[in-house]
Amino acid sequence: MIAAIRHKCKRLIRISIEDLELDGLKAGEVRELEEADFFSKLKIQDWR
């Protein structure tokens, strides 16, 4: 979208995808989730 209006994007930070949020995780930090919770947050229903 940025390129479509001829602007340059120097940095893009993703903080969430669907209901899965980073909640302040720092670079390199990891948070483990149960598989069912992970797919639920991404709104993927037929994951098996």
Bridge-partner residues for 17, per DSSP? 20
CA–CA distance, 27 with 14 (Å, rounded to integer):
12
| pTM score over 0.85 | no
Q: Are 18 and 43 in contact (CB under 8 A)?
A: yes
- Counts for the chain of helices (H) and strands (E), in that order: 1, 2
Q: Enumerate the domain spans of the chain.
A: 16-48
pLDDT per residue as tens, the chain (48 positions): 788 898 888 888 888 999 999 988 888 999 999 998 999 999 988 766
Provide the pLDDT for residue 19: 93
Provide the pLDDT for residue 41: 92
Which tokens hold the place of 38? 């992970």
Bridge-partner residues for 20, per DSSP? 17
Provide the pLDDT for residue 48: 66
Provide the pLDDT for residue 14: 84
